[in-house]
Amino acid sequence: MAKVPKPNELVIEHGFPQTGWMDTPAVFRPGNFSYPGKAKNLQALGLPNPREWSPLDEDWKLPSNWKQIILEGMRERLDKFRSFKIFMDICVRCGACADKCHFYLGSGDPKNMPVLRAELLRSVYRKDFSLAGRIMGKMVGARDLTEDVLKEWFMYFFQCTECRRCSLFCPYGIDTAEVTMMGRELLNLVGLNIDWVVGPAANCFNNGNHLGIQPHAFKDMIEFFVDEIEAVNGIRCEPTFNRKGAEVLFITPSGDVFADPGTYTLMGYLMLFHQIGLDYTWSTYASEGGNFGMFTSHEVMKRLNSKMYAEAKRLGVKYIIGGECGHMWRVINQYMDTMNGPADFLEVPVSPMTGTRFDNAATTKMIHIVEFTADLIKNGKLKLDPSRNDHLVTTYHDSCNPARGMGFFEEPRYVIKNVCNNFHEMPPNTIREQTFCCGSGSGLNNDEFMEMRMRGGLPRANAVRHVHDLHGVNTLATICAIDRAVLTALMDYWVPDVTVYGVHELVANALVMDGETERTTDLRGEPLPGMEEDSENEDV
Amino acid sequence: MAIEQYLLKHKKSLAGQWFDLLTGTYPLETVRLLKKETNQFANPVGHAFLTAIDEILDEFLGQNSAEAMWPLLDKVIRIRAIQEFSPSSSLVFIFDLKMLARGVLEEELAGGLIDHGELSDFDRKVEALALLAFDVYMRCRENLFEVRMTELKNRTNRLLKLVGNE
């Protein structure tokens, strides 16, 4: 039972502690941390120190030589990754990044300032890897690595979504997301990780996708969507699975296979590919576009990335098209080439419908479905009726990774404007390269973290509310599976009149397919504009 | 002249001090951001507080209808309900109004323009506002858990449909 305070103890705390950051320890309580990685998932990935533990316990069951492991791990990575060493050395603490983090803006907690989050690690670096720090200690911002420091790392490196908005404003170009990635790698060395990251990574390693869907269930689910589409427009799509010799391998995040509203986006892919007659196949083994290895360590990221290419090789396809996903594209564009590439056994993607050659994917051999579709529209290969989306007043959320990780700004907007008549941008300092994160990326999209997610997503929701109030926006379109799931929750809390859509769901609504029956509803079963009566009659 | 009229005369000072107290519940580094940054998208919390405080005061010193007050309180409380505050710390800013009113009305009180009865009535009005704020706070927290529950349901919704369970 909770301790009942005596009358003289009934003092209302007005707010945050006003102590300096080094003297303010991280306090864990239910709701402000993600559940720790389960032993079975660590074992599946061969990660160290598998055990059951809780951040609420005093004893985190660390190995007895944990400090040595962390410091040696740090030394190894400083030697291996010059970027990490530079990021540790060159920050002048100018503060340009400080107020750019969505978690800081939403929480007001200074340890969410990117400079301070990095400083959690940098202070230990100074103490153990610099002469000044060894001699002068706290005077030069150095401190010993203690268990409390480690706990603080666990709290704050899992309160960063690796979105990289802060790095955009750094005059030195420090990629603070990579500092977080290094912080997480080091934590992993002593078995400190969260289950929402290592669980999906283990599932992907074992079964090919984050949700652990087995091949037969994956196939059943896609076929279930085929039935759903047929009920909407009478067209029966005919997807194939693990088909050798197909021209294209299509890979999308597995979240879209089960989680609404991503499921409708997946139906959009099926409809588009059927309409244009693309020679493509799904794989039930490489059935995941996302890569939660990126949130674990570079080794796990590499392992999970390699399976997509191994499957492309096995099936003998020419190239890969990837679905609407976020961090998948960061891995492909930023890390794939030096991890597993170049994919010489594949061909530079050429659209069979338009002949367009995607030289931007010359080494990765993998293109984003939105650029593929934008090219189809640009070349007049699709018959579209945007009035079918007239009940939607749309805005577009740039997902952090395609936006900042690959400069993908125009294609999604081009597609949306061709399939929707009503589109309004959010304010300039909240979109494109300055886009605000959903607040739930990098494995933080678990339900136990909901309160923190609402903090992290506050700046994004604030901008959506602005266009909702100004233009009546009721639709938030995005091209990331995590976004589709988590922005739905974010809108439910902050701007409940706004619904989240994938871009290819909007495409599918507008797509006029050969031989289709008269459409009365959209993919969600909602009546199309002007069809309200017809769909009511059908319901009867 | 009613106490509300006197307070309206001092509204600018009252709003400024209330905003200072509200932002003062955050760490020093954050106070600077909340008070200085004027772009509403670069400083969403500070901007929301600043505009909401003004609107809350207008309503409180004017019609003071619970219906109109709810969305105004919600602008502040929805934010504080998901930040690192205890429920009591989240709402303590409402009670600050009592102290602030006494401060800005110092001259009127000393000059006998406002009597103790009026001041007591005003205190009770602040307490009623605090109770309304408590309702708003609870609604936000309930909403938070509804959001969590809905997300969990969405996650398996399709699976249940597939096996014909829905």
- DSSP string over B90-125: HHHHHHHHHHHHHHHTHHHHHTTSS-HHHHHHHHHH
Alpha-carbon distance A168 to A412, whole Å? 21
pLDDT of residue A14: 66
Supply the ipTM of this predicted assembly.
Answer: 0.96
Chain B nearest-CA distance from A44, in A, is 24
| Mutate which: B43, B82, B162, vs A, most A CBs within 10 A | B82
* 3-class SS shares of chain B: helix, strand, coil, % to 5: 80, 0, 20
Amino acid at B154: N
Fold of A20-193: Fumarate Reductase Iron-sulfur Protein; Chain B, domain 2 (1.10.1060)
Please report, to the nearest 10 degrees, the dihedral formed by the alpha carbons of residues A103, A104, A108, A111 taken in order.
110
3-state secondary structure of A511: strand
The mean predicted confidence, pLDDT, of chain A is 94
Cβ of B44 within 8 Å of Cβ of A459? The answer is yes
**Can you spell out the DSSP letters for A246-271?**
-SEEEE--THHHHSTTHHHHHHHHHH
pLDDT in tens, A39-80: 999 999 999 999 999 999 999 999 999 999 999 999 999 999
Does B152 contact chain A (CB < 8 Å)? yes
Chain B residues closer than 8 Å to A13 by CB = 86, 88-89
- Tell me the H-state helices in A4-65: 39-45
- On the question of pLDDT at A11 being above 90, the answer is no
Residues 262-281 of A with CB under 8 A from B: 263
- Two tokens at A369? 């479905």
Contact A246, A281 (CB under 8 A): yes
Taking the alpha carbons at both ends of chain B, their separation in whole angstroms is 64
Segment A16-34 shows an average pLDDT of 88
pLDDT in tens, A428-453: 999 999 999 999 999 999 999 999 99
Segment A496-504 shows an average pLDDT of 98
Contact A364, A346 (CB under 8 A): no
Cβ of B43 within 8 Å of Cβ of A447? The answer is no
Alpha-carbon distance A322 to A319, whole Å? 10
3-state secondary structure of A1: coil
CA distances (Å), origin A391, targets A50, A247, A319, A424, A474: 51, 37, 37, 14, 9
- On the question of pLDDT at A194 being above 50, the answer is yes
Identify which of B28, B30, B147 has the shortest CB distance to residue A493: B147
How many residues does the structure list for chain A? 540
pLDDT in tens, A264-304: 999 999 999 999 999 999 999 999 999 999 999 999 999 99
> Which region among A24-33, A81-90, A130-139, A441-450 has the lowest average model confidence (pLDDT)?
A130-139
Alpha-carbon distance A10 to A17, whole Å? 17
Chain A nearest-CA distance from B13, in A, is 21
Chain A residues closer than 8 Å to B94 by CB = none
Cβ of A99 within 8 Å of Cβ of B33? The answer is yes
Alpha-carbon distance A434 to A164, whole Å? 9
The closest alpha carbon to B93, from B142, B139, B63, B60, belongs to B60
Segment A232-250 shows an average pLDDT of 98
The closest alpha carbon to B48, from B82, B95, B87, belongs to B82
pLDDT in tens, A388-433: 999 999 999 999 999 998 899 999 999 999 999 999 999 999 999 9
Q: What is the pTM of this model?
A: 0.95
| Mutate which: B25, B29, B91, vs A, most A CBs within 10 A | B29
Pairing of strands A248-251, A499-502: unpaired
Confidence of residue A37 (pLDDT cuts 50, 70, 90): very high
pLDDT of residue B97: 96
The closest alpha carbon to A320, from A378, A252, A395, belongs to A252
Q: Which residue has the higher pLDDT, A21 or B158?
A: A21
Does B163 contact chain A (CB < 8 Å)? no
* Domain extents in chain A: 20-193, 200-510
Chain B residues closer than 8 Å to A220 by CB = 162
3-state secondary structure B117-128: HHHHHHHHHHHH
Alpha-carbon distance B15 to B36, whole Å? 16
* 3-class SS shares of chain A: helix, strand, coil, % to 5: 55, 5, 40
- On the question of pLDDT at A2 being above 60, the answer is no
Q: Provide, rounded to the nearest whole percent, the portion of chain A with pLDDT above 70.
A: 96
Contact A418, A511 (CB under 8 A): no
Cβ of B26 within 8 Å of Cβ of A98? The answer is no
Cβ of B92 within 8 Å of Cβ of A462? The answer is no
Alpha-carbon distance A401 to A412, whole Å? 14
Which residues, in sequence order, are bridge partners of residue A250? Answer: A282, A321
Cβ of B45 within 8 Å of Cβ of A105? The answer is yes
Does B38 contact chain A (CB < 8 Å)? no
Nearest CA in chain A to B144: A493
Does B108 contact chain A (CB < 8 Å)? no
DSSP one-letter code for A350: B
Segment A162-173 shows an average pLDDT of 95
Chain A residues closer than 8 Å to B25 by CB = 14-16
Identify which of A108, A450, A485 has the shortest CB distance to residue B30: A108
Could you count the other beta carbons within 10 Å of the beta carbon of residue A400?
Answer: 28
Segment A173-180 shows an average pLDDT of 94
- Residue A425 makes CB contacts below 8 A (sequence gap 6+) with A395, A396, A431, A467
pLDDT of residue A5: 62
Chain A nearest-CA distance from B30, in A, is 6
Confidence of residue A540 (pLDDT cuts 50, 70, 90): very low
pLDDT in tens, B58-84: 999 999 999 999 999 999 999 999 999
- Two tokens at A394? 């749309």
Chain B nearest-CA distance from A24, in A, is 11
Residues 55-94 of B with CB under 8 A from A: 78-79, 82-86, 88-89, 92
Confidence of residue A9 (pLDDT cuts 50, 70, 90): low
pLDDT of residue A430: 98
3-state secondary structure of A412: helix
Cβ of B155 within 8 Å of Cβ of A450? The answer is no
Cβ of B41 within 8 Å of Cβ of A462? The answer is yes
Q: Provide, rounded to the nearest whole percent, the portion of chain A with pLDDT above 90.
A: 88
- Parts of chain B with a pLDDT under 70: 165-166
Confidence of residue A1 (pLDDT cuts 50, 70, 90): very low
pLDDT of residue A538: 55
Which residues, in sequence order, are bridge partners of residue A394? Answer: A423, A475
